[in-house]
Structure 1
Amino acid sequence: MRSIKLLIEYDGTHFCGWQRQVEGRTVQEEIEKALEKVIKEPVKIHGAGRTDAGVHALGQTASFHANITVPVDKIPIALNSILPEDISILGASEVDESFHARYAAKGKKYIYQIYNSPLRSPLLRNYAYFVPQPLDIGKMQEAGQYFLGTHDFKGFMASGGSVQDSIRTLYKLDVYFHEKIIKIEVEGNGFLYNMVRIIAGTLVEVGKGKIDPKDIKQIIASGIRDLAGPTAPAQGLYLGEVIY
Structure 2
Amino acid sequence: MGSCGAAGSVRARYLVFFQYLGTDFNGVVAIRGSQRAVGVQNFLEEAAKRLNSVEPVRFTISSRTDAGVHALSNAAHLDVLRRSGQPPFSPEVLTQALNTHLRHPAIRVLKAFRVSSDFHARHAATSRTYLYRLATGCTWPQLPVFERNICWALQTDCLDVAAMEEAAQHLLGTHDFSAFQSAGSPAKSSVRTLRRISVSPGPTSPFVLPHENRRLQFWTLEFESQSFLYRQVRRMTAMLVAVGQGILTPTHVKEILESRDPLGKHQTRIAPAHGLFLKSVLYGDLEDFGPIFS
Using structure 2 for the length normalisation, give the TM-score: 0.80
| TM-fit CA distance, 1:121 | 2.6
Q: Aligned runs of 1:1-244 on 2, under 5 Å?
A: 1-22=11-32, 23=34, 24-41=37-54, 42-68=56-82, 69-83=88-102, 84-118=104-138, 119-133=142-156, 134-178=158-202, 179=204, 180-225=217-262, 226=264, 227-228=266-267, 230-244=269-283
Runs of 4+ in 1 over 4 A off after TM superposition: none
2: CA distance between counterparts of 1:25 and 1:200?
27
2: CA distance between counterparts of 1:161 and 1:2?
32
Larger Rg: 2
2:192 maps to amino acid = R
2:73 maps to amino acid = G
2: CA distance between counterparts of 1:132 and 1:216?
21
1: CA distance between counterparts of 2:276 and 2:183?
19
Identify unmatched segments of 5+ residues in structure 1.
none
1: CA distance between counterparts of 2:175 and 2:268?
17
- Calculate the aligned-residue CA RMSD, in Å: 1.4
Q: Identical aligned pairs, as a percentage?
A: 34
2:76 maps to amino acid = A
1:191 maps to amino acid = F
1: CA distance between counterparts of 2:166 and 2:144?
28
1: CA distance between counterparts of 2:236 and 2:27?
20
* Farther-moved stretch of structure 1 (128-137 vs 57-66): 128-137
| TM-fit CA distance, 1:40 | 4.6
Using structure 1 for the length normalisation, give the TM-score: 0.95
Listed one character per residue, the Cα deviations across residues 170-227 of structure 1 (whole Å, up to 9, x for unaligned) are 0000011134111110001211110000000001100110111132222100112223
1:47 maps to amino acid = I
* Structure 2 counterpart SS, 1:81: helix
* Structure 2 counterpart SS, 1:70: coil
After superposition, the Cα gap between the structure-2 partners of 1:218 and 1:165, relative to the gap in structure 1 and judged at 3 Å, is: same
2: CA distance between counterparts of 1:203 and 1:122?
26
